[in-house]
Structure 1
Amino acid sequence: MNMDLIYTLVEVLIAISCCLGNILVILAVWISKSLKQPTFCLIMSLAVADFLVGCVAIPLAVIVDARVRTSFHTCLFITIAVDRYFRVVFLYRYKRTVTQRHSWLAVAVCWLVAIPLSFAPMLGWYNHETLSNSVNSTIVCQFITVIPMSYLVYFNFFLCTLAPLLVMTVLYGFVFCTIRGNLREKPGNNFQKQSQNYLKKEKQLAGSLSLVLALFALSWLPLHIMNCVAYFGKENAVPQEAVHVGIVLSHANSAVNPVIYAFKIEKIKTAYLKIWRQYVTCGEENQGSQTSQETDSNLARNVNAGSNE
């Protein structure tokens, strides 16, 4: 089978998984009262971004055979990491300071920051050589022919991905060190016991979110490293097949996140099951209840008929 066809089929499957899985996350956070917390507002916004990867970015990537990506994930990951940091370090002031309104404001800032960053090539950082060599201002639309590798390496990787990853690694390091230090202290009263139970839950949630961050790094770094090799090394140093694998791996990250939430975050898992029972099996339950009601009605009629006789 042709490699391009295999690549396209895999991308289509990933796109479908991105859309379905992240719609489930969005519904879970939207309808569940137990998920009306600042952190889950951020997770919902991340799910919206992953959904857009499936329905917009991947189809565009297939069309232009490109490395379509957005800096939004990095921005939001930083926000989540900072949220975990404040929630653990400033334990008693967090709930008064970080409200759901503040979380939605942080989400809005992430989207507003991502828009101008994503359109940096439109402001002049494009391949001027391709433009000068075009005939009648028309070209074969391919991402790598219009976007210079310098943009992908210096701006997209070094500035928008690598630097924030280092910041988030430090933040999560502080979070886990703080939690571990507090949990080593022996609780002397009920208030301290409650604080330790709180920190244990925070440690579990922080671990789940750090896993999401780690998979994000593992999914995106191979493609960025290949871009660096192509830019600093020899021309055509990276095979096109390897580039396709890197693109697929980066896109697959958006489909994996809903699965991680299901296995690692109990509240989201519970919300998934609630959606399943409410929207998927409700037809069977309603049919069963209607059958039961008809049986009861028939039994009542028979009893009344017997009493009349």
Structure 2
Amino acid sequence: MAAWTWLVYTALEALIALVCCLGNALVVLAVCVGVKGALREPTFCFLVSLAAADFLVGVAAVPLAVLLDGWAGMAPRLCLLLSCVVLVLTQASVLSLLAIAVDRYLRLHTPLRYKNLTRPSRTWLTVAICWLLSCVLGFTPLFGWNNFPPLAPPGASNASSEPAAPPCTFLSMISLQFMVYFNFLGCVLLPLLAMTLLYVRVFWRLQGRLRDSSPQARVSLLRERRLACSLALVLFLFAGCWIPLHLMNWALTRSRKRPCIQAGILLSHANSAVNPVVYAYRIPKIQQAYGHIWRRFLAVVSCRCGGPDRPGSRTKWTESFEWGKQTVETRSHPPRDLMNPAM
């Protein structure tokens, strides 16, 4: 990679990492603090899990992508371990999206048993299982399916027979066959197909109920459909950002020509930065929680800048914040019925 290309790539990765960290930290704060009782609703819990995975992409995956570009020297086993961390975070995002799709399906198809099936204890147990399974699948290359250099034969001279350690890059440690046949086909594409089928059934069922519903039930169903559209958009953005990189890996198994792999890496990381924007524009409760947090931040900044001795400044901003808070709480807690969605 040319020097100027590497500088542009590194600068874009740094920007994406910053947006990932700030945006997804805001999502977690908005759900945990800005939306009352959100952590007792399964969809919000799974969104927090997805936002946590996206936040860790900015904290860990993006710096590791720059580090694992062949310029940093480290022991091969450490290089392999760091490469697996990227796979764990990707798998956590996939499984969180799958949990969200299953939650939407259960809510619509088993409304009478939904509350019992998705009790908070069961929801958080599901989140823990998703992350545990992500670690098992992501760290699979540590158990042998990798490009780790073979050991020197016993009794052979170190100077003549021990292979030189390869440069620390992701593809020098992780097998392309593993990435294509196990990670892509089994751990990414298969769950994406399952999620697509679940959302197709959700929309089909919603369309049928909308035709036969009363005007009162129609409002709740339309709200449910809007939420399903928002979550399906998050899914399709994930697929659109990650599939090109996996197709590039597949192309590498067929040809020695190296595609522009850095562009695929940037696109996959950008997905974690885009999700908070989707939440802000498509999910009303999170949008209102963003506004709540922003107004509170402005009130604190104004009070500190104006100082306690400046008459009227604190009172003005405090009244504005309290008015905004009451507005958010009023909009965030409409009357519920059996089919009223979680958001």
- The answer to whether residue 168 in structure 2 is matched with residue 131 in structure 1 is no
Say whether 1:211 aligns with 2:238: no
Structure 2 match to 1:107: 127
Give 1:93 shift. Answer: 2.5
Higher-RCO chain (CA-CA 8 Å, sequence separation at least 6):
1
Misfit runs of 4+, over 6 Å: none
Q: Which runs of 5+ in 2 are unaligned?
A: 71-82, 153-160, 316-343
Whole-Å separation in 1 of the counterparts to 2:45 and 2:123: 7
What residue is the counterpart of 1:22 in the other structure? 24
Residue number among 237, 261, 274 corresponding to 1:256 in the alignment: 274
Alpha-carbon separation, structure 2, partners of 1:259 and 1:147: 32
Aligned to 1:4: 6
Alignment-derived partner of residue 48 in structure 1: 52
Query: Quick check: 1:34–1:267 contact (8 Å CA) kept in 2?
Result: no
Tell me which amino acid in the other structure corresponds to 1:235. Answer: R
Aligned match for 1:234, one of 255, 260, 273: 255
In structure 1, what residue type is equivalent to 2:173?
A: V
1:108 CA drift (Å): 0.6
SS in 1 for 2:19: helix
Counterpart CA distance in 2 for 1:243 and 1:214 is 21
Q: State how far apart, in whole Å, the 1-side matches of 2:282 and 2:303 are.
A: 29
Q: Answer yes or no: is the 8 Å Cα contact 2:147–2:174 preserved in 1.
A: yes
Q: Distance in 1 between matches of 2:207 and 2:314?
A: 59
Q: What value does the CA root-mean-square deviation take over the aligned residues?
A: 2.4
The Cα of 1:23 is off from its aligned counterpart by 0.3
| Identical counterparts, % of pairs | 45
Work out whether residues 303 and 313 of structure 2, in 8 Å CA contact, stay in contact via their aligned partners in 1.
no
| Higher mean C-alpha deviation, range 277-286 or range 28-37 | 277-286
Letter of the 2:11 partner, please give it: L
Is it true that 1:181 corresponds to 2:208 in the alignment?
A: yes
Aligned AA (1:99): R
Are positions 1:153 and 2:180 aligned together? yes
Of the structure 1 ranges 98-107 and 270-279, higher mean CA displacement relative to structure 2 is found in: 98-107
Q: Normalised by the size of structure 2, how large is the TM-score?
A: 0.78
Q: Provide the TM-score with structure 1 as the length reference.
A: 0.86
CA distance in 1, matches of 2:220, 2:170: 48
SS in 1 for 2:112: coil
- Cα distance in 1 for partners of 2:122, 2:265 equals 34
Q: Structure 1: how far apart are the matches of 2:105 and 2:213?
A: 23
Distance 2:50 2:113 in 1: 25
Q: Partner letter of residue 275 of structure 2?
A: N
- State whether structure 2 residue 99 is matched by structure 1 residue 79: yes
Could you give the per-residue CA deviations for residues 64-118 of structure 1, whole angstroms, max 9, x where no partner exists?
Answer: 1288443111111111100000011112321233123222111111001001111
Matched to 1:17, the amino acid is V
**Residues 273-292 of structure 1: CA distance to partner in whole angstroms, max 9, x if unpaired?**
11111133323157488644
Q: Which amino acid aligns with 1:123?
A: F
Greater Rg, structure 1 or structure 2?
Answer: 1
Tell me the number of residue pairs that the alignment of Structure 1 and Structure 2 aligns: 286
In the aligned structure 2, how far is the partner of 1:265 from the partner of 1:127? 44
Question: How far apart, CA to CA, are the structure 2 residues paired with 1:176 and 1:293?
Answer: 53
Distance 1:295 1:224 in 2: 54
Q: Closer, same or farther in 2 for the Cα pair 1:285/1:176, shift >3 Å? A: farther
Q: Aligned equivalents of 2:312 and 2:137: distance in 1?
A: 60
Structure 1 residue corresponding to 2:36, chosen from 33, 37, 48: 33
When you count helix as a share of all residues, which structure comes out higher? 1
C-alpha distance in 2, partners of 1:112/1:294?
50
